[in-house]
Amino acid sequence: MSATAVAPRLHGLRHRRVTVLLALLACVAVAIVLSVTIGSKSVPLADAWHALTSPTGTENDLVIRSLRLPRTALGVLAGIALGVAGALMQGHTRNPLADPGLLGVTQGAAFAMVASIILLGASSLLAYIWYGLAGALVASVAVFALGMVGGRSGPTPVTLALAGTAVSALLYALTSTIVLLDEQAMDVFRFWQAGSIASRGADVVWQVLPFVLAGLVLALVNAPGLNALSLGEDVARSLGQNIARTRTIGVAAVTLLSGAAVAACGSLAFVGLIVPHLARPLSGNDHRWLLPYSGLVGAGLLLIADVIGRVVAPPGELEVGVVLALLGAPFFVALVRRRKPVRL
């Protein structure tokens, strides 16, 4: 095929990819509007606009600015982070069932939080989040280190899954011990473990933001190398790829992204797992497109799930983690049933 015949087709592909990107952005924008306006107190669109542009301290202004906006912003951040982290993990492990929860991140954060309560007397949400973040980072590095030791050439899906299970179980047992000894720790733990983006406040968003941004930069840097790796390690090596470096950047990105999301929101099951499967049919296997698509799909999914949680069980709310588990499980089961199952 001559170059002149390929060029228009490539052009058409890029055109389509940009169109999809814009469509996804529009979807996220709609989800943001829904998330800001819908809730136990619904706010008309005009009032929401008023709250954003020229607040005068009305009740609606307060609801929007101090509750809904931080909640929505956190949902967007966590959704992007978990979506991108999931796509990275599935790419690196070449396992379509990989999920950041697998890495021990969730239980690492939980343990650090409750330990900080009884050992260091931590008592504010911000303090919990910092300790949770540290715990998530340490746990996932430990899991990867263990996975590296287990496999001969980097973490294989099997050793990674095993390492994640083992570290998670150990941390969960230690966490349980603490929460059974201390009522305050129990109270923090049970709400955090259910997974929520509500009542976190704007300062939490600002604390988490740098970690997510750093993780996103690393993820985008990682994309071309990951494309080469998906051809197999031998091919990637013959293409001049530094495999160890590509893997390390990937692990760092996954750790920063999922650690930040999990520390701020608790256990959000299935996001990292589902999102890449929704994004891949749109993007194909090119990670330079899959990663941004996954981020946007993740943000949209998380916000919609949160809005569903606000309206299904009035007058109370269902935590977004529970909604995600209920939405994600059928998807996961369908995934497992559809094809010849992937060997873990």
Partner 1 sequence: MTTLRMSAVSWRVRPRGVTLTVAGLALLVLLMALNMRIGEIELTLPEVLSGTFDADAAAHFVIMELRLPRALTGALVGAALALSGAIIQSIARNPLASPEILGVTTGASVTVVAGLVAAGTAYGTAGGLLATLGIPLLALLGGLAGAAIVYGLAWRRGLDGYRLVLVGIGVAAVFTNVKFWLLTIGDVNDTARAMVWISGSLNGRGWEHVTPTALALAVLVPLTLLGTRSLDALRFGDDTVTGLGIRLNLSRALLILAAVLLAAVAVASAGPVAFVALASPQIALRLVRSGRPPLLSSAVVGAVLTTAADLIARTAFSPIELPVGIVTAVLGAPYLIHLIWRSRK
Interface stretch with partner 1, choices 24-32, 33-41, 214-222, 319-327 (CB under 8 A): 319-327
Q: Do the Cβ atoms of 51 and 45 come closer than 8 Å?
A: no
Dig out the tokens for 15 from the structure.
């055109």
Of 66 and 165, CB closest to partner 1: 165
State the minimum distance, in angstroms, from the CB of residue 146 to partner 1: 6
Cα–Cα distances (Å) from 272 to 19, 91, 193, 293, in that order, read: 24, 12, 17, 13
Helix axes 105-120, 183-194, angle to 10 degrees: 160
Does residue 126 interact with partner 1 by CB under 8 A?
Answer: no
Of 150 and 224, CB closest to partner 1: 150
Does residue 69 interact with partner 1 by CB under 8 A?
Answer: no
> Nearest CA to 269 among 331, 214, 185?
331
Sole binder of partner 1 in the list 98, 264, 265, 318 (CB under 8 A): 318
Length of the chain (residues): 344
Sole binder of partner 1 in the list 144, 270, 289, 293 (CB under 8 A): 270
Sole binder of partner 1 in the list 25, 65, 151, 248 (CB under 8 A): 151
Cα–Cα distances (Å) from 199 to 32, 49, 52, 195, in that order, read: 17, 21, 19, 12
Sole binder of partner 1 in the list 162, 209, 221, 278 (CB under 8 A): 162
Reduced 3-state DSSP string for 202-225: HHHHHHHHHHHHHHHHHHHHHHHH
Residues of span 81-120 touching partner 1 by CB under 8 A: 97, 101
Contact footprint for partner 1 (CB under 8 A): 97, 101, 146-147, 149-152, 158-159, 161-163, 165-167, 169-170, 172-174, 176-177, 179-181, 183, 186-187, 190-191, 193-195, 267, 269-270, 318-319, 321-322, 324-326, 328-329, 332-333, 336-337, 341-344
